[in-house]
Amino acid sequence: MSSTNVSIHEFRKSKGNLEPRPHWLYTGTSAAEQAPSQVQVPSLNTISPQASDDEDDGGDTETEKDNDVPPAFPALNSAQRVQTSRTPKILTDSQLMPPPPFPSLAVRQPGVPSTRGNSLAVPPSTTKPPPKPSKKSGKVALAPGHSPLDWAALKTSGADLRGVDSLMRIPPSVLKQHNKRDDAWSAFNGKVYNITPYLPFHPGGEKELMRVAGRDGTKLFASTHGWVNVDFMLDASLVGFLVPEPSS
């Protein structure tokens, strides 16, 4: 027999055989909070399975049919029971964590996403057609042999695309004279380029490009397609640098 059973029987002997015996499920705090020798046990009509084996139990009234009753565990006089049976501290309302905010599910509509943007609802379906582009693309059909790749091949071919022998300092009055289709200069970011060779290669068309012929086109260029690297595209057409008008 286990030591647990022995201790229980010793306990019962000290209280007398007819003393009520604790059930193994009993975990009442009143018994555990007391010293083992002073434990008050509830009244139960059970009989120890070990009673008939115990020679000191003269006049024992217990019978064999109650052998299925298990002993108390942990033992009533064990340190474990004394430690764990302390009454837990009950917190007051002010000590408790506040409840989470009310999710306000009642105001939600199925399929309508939350205004907070974190809804798990499916996006609303729509029969509206996709919006049409506000305006047509300004691109034009380029003549055969005038694609961007053809321009890249031309400017690296070594062909003269400047029309000048050396880079020049160009005041606005000089720039202004080069405003014809076969002799068009334009300034972008302080550099003056001969745009005539590029005219048939311009994806936006010759007409659009000619709007800046003979003047500073930096602003119009930036407002049309600021992502285009004009310095790289026209490097072979550089003719000089824009300078202020000389004072007479």
Distance of CA 16 to the CA centre of its chain: 70
Cβ closer to ligand HEM: 180 or 211?
Answer: 211
- Report the nearest approach of ligand HEM to the CB of residue 220 (Å): 5
| Other beta carbons within 10 Å of 184 | 21
Among 95, 137, 173, 247, binds ligand HEM (CB under 6 A): 137
- Report the nearest approach of ligand HEM to the CB of residue 192 (Å): 11
- Report the nearest approach of ligand HEM to the CB of residue 112 (Å): 38
| Other beta carbons within 10 Å of 114 | 12
Residue 197 makes contact with ligand HEM by CB under 6 A: no
Residues sharing a CB contact under 8 Å with residue 47, sequence separation 6 or more, in sequence order: 21, 61, 62, 63, 66, 69
CA dihedral (118, 124, 130, 131) positive or negative: negative
Binding residues among 201-230 for ligand HEM as defined by CB under 6 A: 202-204, 208-209, 211-212, 217, 220-221, 224-225, 228, 230
Among 139, 169, 180, 181, binds ligand HEM (CB under 6 A): 139
Tell which residue, 216, 208, 205, 209, has the closest CA to residue 241.
216
- Residue carrying the six token digits 């790289």: 232
Would residue 5 be called left, alpha or beta, if left means φ above 0 and alpha means ψ between -120 and 50 degrees? alpha
Cβ closer to ligand HEM: 18 or 140?
Answer: 140
- Report the nearest approach of ligand HEM to the CB of residue 199 (Å): 9
Is the separation of the CB atoms in 156 and 228 below 8 Å? no
Residue 85 makes contact with ligand HEM by CB under 6 A: no
Residues making contact with ligand HEM (CB under 6 A): 137-139, 195, 198, 202-204, 208-209, 211-212, 217, 220-221, 224-225, 228, 230, 233-234
